[in-house]
Amino acid sequence: MITAINPATGQDVGTYPLHDDAFVDAALNAAAAAQKEWARKPVGERAELLTRVAAVLRDGKDRYAEMIVREMGKPLVEAEGEVEKCAYNCDFYAEHAVRYLADEDVPSNATESVVAFDPLGVVLAIMPWNYPFWQYFRFAAPALAAGNGAILKHANNVPECALAVQEVMEKAGAPSGLTATLMIDASKVARLIEDDRIAAITLTGSTEVGAIVASQAGKALKKQVLELGGSDPFIVLADADLEAAAETAVKARYVNVGQSCVNAKRFIVDNAVADRFVELFVEKAAALKIGDPMERDTKIGPMARANLRDTLHSQVERSVAQGAVLKLGGKPVEGEGFYYPPTVLDNVKPGMVAACEETFGPVAAIIRVNGADEAIAVANDTEFGLGAALWTGDIVKAKQLSRRIEAGAVFINGMTASDPRYPFGGIKRSGYGRELGVYGIREFVNIKTVWIGPAK
């Protein structure tokens, strides 16, 4: 059985039976058969499904948002935004799929040749709890438009959301069997990866789990896209607009209660403005309301699980023991639920826990540096390479510095975020492959050369 726990109360909110091997086998057979038919449909017809999916999401936004809040604790306004973002993503690919998947002509002296984009088959999506709708539809919209099928193995602490995304697909009129949600233990995933009916794998999750899945998929010689951990730098140079930088920095750190791979985590600030930036940051972080995530003015809800809060608090304590200065927060909130307050650690040094480990929760690490060169060096001094933000008043300099930052995305005078228009993914131990944009829709396709000689 799978039991969902409301992180705001610590109380059980639902129990769900696991699917047995017979159910899983039937789902794989159905997906494999449905995908073959789906692949033969014109891209434009496949795109029409996404338009219907977007409509179903918007029609059910209130109910789906409440599910998200109930199972993982995201503040309600953010949960509503998550559902809307899923709908926007579906609309985006409905509009652009035909163009993104069109054959590309290849100039040749004697032939008419093209590069074609054919679907791979059924893709296994192993998804996390922190954005229980977005993580799925971020992958599913382009993958389905490209002609693939989709099997979801979701995180076991969001079972209602896992079943709900399949409900969305069915309400939108997806072909029977083309998509499915499997309620199974993690121990069953290796068999799915090995199964010949699965053509490729996409995973969003921890670096440790990513390494395991990559090993299993590599042994089976199957394509993977991995979006893993991050310790994103937020660089503030001396000529930055400090008020705007601090305002954005607080949002970048504490959105989703800090539980995102792409949250800003290390705030690398030029010493010339560090005191003022920290003052502004602490002031704005302290003003964030902690409370019931169903209340519309709540900014900080509970963390998703008790063990995640325990891990985060240990990281804070160990960082302070190493010499970091606690400026705000730093202790679990007493009472029911898994709450942890906005926390700020100043004078964090390279090598400290808060600088080296991914802090997956509402903890900000302030690292002081001297100048842009040291800022870039500290930003790159990590095993991760997902996103980065760079704040400066000199855009010419910012463009130059952005090329030196080791990350899959650099946002200048803004906060790192995913957007259907742009590719999303990381380097180093943050994973490989890309989601979103034209590159995302082409991850799970066979990029096929079609060489055409003269007819005889």
Which residues lie below 8 Å from residue 437, measured CB to CB, with a gap of 6+? 420, 421, 422, 423, 424
Q: How confident is the model at residue 110 (pLDDT cuts 50, 70, 90)?
A: low
CB 57 within 8 A of CB 86: yes
Token output for 153? 């193995």
Which residues lie below 8 Å from residue 369, measured CB to CB, with a gap of 6+? 268, 269, 270, 271, 375, 378
Catalytic one among 78, 82, 160, 227?
A: 227
Q: How confident is the model at residue 455 (pLDDT cuts 50, 70, 90)?
A: confident
Q: Which amino acid is at 322?
A: Q
Task: Check residue 112 and give its pLDDT.
Answer: 83
Decide whether 2-228+429-450 matches 232-419 in CATH topology. no
CB 233 within 8 A of CB 264: yes
Q: Which residues pair with 449 in a beta bridge?
A: 115
CA angle 394, 398, 402 (to 5 degrees): 175
- To the query of whether residue 261 is one of the catalytic residues in this protein, the response is yes
SS3 25: helix
Token output for 379? 């930003």
Q: How many CB atoms lie within 10 A of CB 84?
A: 17
Token output for 227? 């979006």
Residue 109 scores a pLDDT above 90: no
Q: Which of 410, 391, 407, 371 is nearest to 235 (CA)?
A: 391
CB 442 within 8 A of CB 119: no
Query: What CATH number has the domain spanning 2-228+429-450?
Result: 3.40.605.10
Strands 200-204 and 122-126: parallel
Q: How many CB atoms lie within 10 A of CB 404?
A: 13
Residue 429 scores a pLDDT above 70: yes
Distance CA 158, CA 135 (A): 12
Per residue in 166-207, pLDDT tens?
999 999 999 999 999 999 999 999 999 999 999 999 999 999
CB 154 within 8 A of CB 136: yes
Task: Check residue 83 and give its pLDDT.
Answer: 98
- To the query of whether residue 112 is one of the catalytic residues in this protein, the response is no
The interaxial angle of helices 134-145 and 159-171, nearest 10 deg, is 30
CB 210 within 8 A of CB 365: no
Catalytic one among 261, 356, 357, 443?
A: 261
Residue whose tokens read 């891209």: 43
Distance CA 257, CA 357 (A): 17
DSSP element (H, E) containing 181: strand 179-181
Query: What CATH number has the domain spanning 232-419?
Result: 3.40.309.10
Calculate the average pLDDT of the chain: 97
SS3 400: helix
Which residues lie below 8 Å from residue 301, measured CB to CB, with a gap of 6+? 7, 8, 69, 73, 74, 75, 257, 290, 291, 292, 293, 339
Torsion of the alpha carbons at 27, 31, 34 and 40, rounded to the nearest 10: 180
Per residue in 127-155, pLDDT tens?
999 999 999 999 999 999 999 999 999 99
Per residue in 336-392, pLDDT tens?
999 999 999 999 999 999 999 999 999 999 999 999 999 999 999 999 999 999 999
pTM over 0.95: yes
Q: How confident is the model at residue 452 (pLDDT cuts 50, 70, 90)?
A: confident
Please report, for the chain, the start and end positions of each structural domain, with discontinuous segments joined by +: 2-228+429-450, 232-419
> Quick one: what percent of the chain has pLDDT higher than 90?
97
Distance CA 84, CA 424 (A): 19
Q: Which of 416, 408, 388, 425 is nearest to 231 (CA)?
A: 388
